[in-house]
Amino acid sequence: MAVPNSDPSTDALDAARLAMASVPRHEFVPAEFQSDAYADKPLPIGEGQTISQPYMVGAMSEALELTGSERVLEIGTGSGYQAAVLSLLVREVITVESHTSLALSAQERLTDLGYTNVHVHNGDGSSGFPDAAPYDAILVTAAAPEIPNVIVGQLREGGRLVIPVGSQENQELVQARKINGVLQSRVLFDCRFVPLLGRYGWTRLDRKSS
């Protein structure tokens, strides 16, 4: 929890840094890339996906403005690294991965490393995960052409959403908050993520033609 008279943004940044320092990033990358595990760059993890660079993981975690009591939905589990970081910052993490092989390996890895408050599901992340909604915060780790309304509908009043939005080549990282049922958003900075595939994201045909 934030201490009185402190800057909430500073608290969120400090908490994110501490969480990242506690998570062994090398456990979340393939063996051939472990020498670069702590370099500030994305790395391949299979299925055309990547583990985000540490700077981006920290920035997205900070942008959720977490206090420790939240239930968070992550869309795009990947290797499970971002979920592991979030697990140290919140009460519970629900994370969805569309690639079955990545979902299975991420769940096994997270369990083996003791991240017991993370629950991995295999499915279309562009639809969110309505079974456990509403969420206090939602983090999308793949680029969407626009913010899917179905995901907004799973966000609790006052909840925060962080998502890259734009074309398949370039996006803006958007931070949004749900106020009186309406999403109020602002752009944080330019970014580049793999496409969000699925019913409310990009189709596989779109991705192949990009």
Active site residues: 52
Strand partners, 178: 183
**Residue 106 is encoded by which pair of tokens?**
């991420």
> Which residues lie below 8 Å from residue 187, measured CB to CB, with a gap of 6+?
172, 173, 174
Residue with token string 């998570």: 23
Report the alpha-carbon distance of residue 111 to residue 179 in Å, rounded: 36
Residue with token string 């490393």: 113
State yes or no: cis peptide before 134, omega within 30 of 0.
yes
Beta-strand pair 43-46/49-51? antiparallel
Report the alpha-carbon distance of residue 163 to residue 150 in Å, rounded: 14
CA geometry: angle 185, 152, 62, nearest 5 deg:
55
